[in-house]
Structure 1
Amino acid sequence: MYCRANDLRCKDVINVKNGCRIGCVCDFEIDLSSARISALVIYGRWRLFGLLGRGKDIIIRWCDIQLIGEDAILVNFDVPGDRGRRQRRR
């Protein structure tokens, strides 16, 4: 299966370890020597409606990606600072 880098943008990223949604793909890191995507970047969440800026960005290496589907990307990733954080229900 071939897809463009633009097709990966705005897809939900789901952690297979705990089933939580990490966020949406916002940007990429590209290895210029091999012309391949080396990591996905998920921007940090807004703090206090953007008045206090953003949290830290989450960078997921390409080797941590398990599956790329039509609507979501499944990753095997430990989110730093995720312990003790309450999960929102939808």
Structure 2
Amino acid sequence: MSTVEAEKKAEEEKKAEEKGGELLFCGATCWDIIGRKKGAQEGNLVSPTRLRPLVGVNIRFVASGSASCHCVALDVEGRCYTWGRNEARA
């Protein structure tokens, strides 16, 4: 890849990052199935799923992990969205 091509690719990636995109989510939501004793009896999301509150929101960044019980998403306008397990109901 030439220097010009590399610079063009980097510029395209930056534009895509600024634009953001749709967020799809999947994973465990039924805590008893994954070894937890407490929690709501809800089905796991085994395929990519749109989260209703985030439909139409251009997401720029997501922080999560395979053992994470919470997620954080940042949209292109700088707003922060969080979701996850809430055992304390606070």
In terms of fraction of residues, the more helix-rich structure is 2
TM-score over 0.5 (shorter chain)? no
The structure having more radius of gyration, on CA atoms, is 2
TM-score, structure 2 length as denominator?
0.27
In terms of fraction of residues, the more strand-rich structure is 1
TM-score, structure 1 length as denominator?
0.27
